[in-house]
Amino acid sequence: MSHRRVFVRISFVLAAFGILSAFGMLSRPSLASIRAVDVVHLIGSGMCFGVAVVALVMYLRTPGSP
């Protein structure tokens, strides 16, 4: 399997986890009074999105295989 396909799969999986986590966070009524667990949830969502963006950039910068 080429490195390009690995980066695409990683970015899609992590973006999916980030989207699911963000929607789960937005559906909580406790968003008005954010607790520590909510902050950790947001940080986890942001990390998933960040790694997905990095993987996508690495995919776009990696030269194609012959």
pLDDT score, position 64? 66
| DSSP designation for 28 | -
User: What pTM, to 2 d.p., does this model score?
Assistant: 0.53
pLDDT in tens, the chain (66 residues): 677 778 788 878 888 887 888 788 777 776 667 777 877 888 888 888 888 888 888 888 877 644
Per-residue pLDDT at 66: 41
Q: Provide the b/e sequence for 27-65 (b: ≥16 CB within 10 Å).
A: eeeeeeeeeeeeeebeeebeebbebbeebbebbeeeeee
29 secondary structure, DSSP code: G
Only one residue has tokens 């790694």, namely 51
The pLDDT of residue 32: 64
In the chain, where are the structural domains located? Answer: 3-61
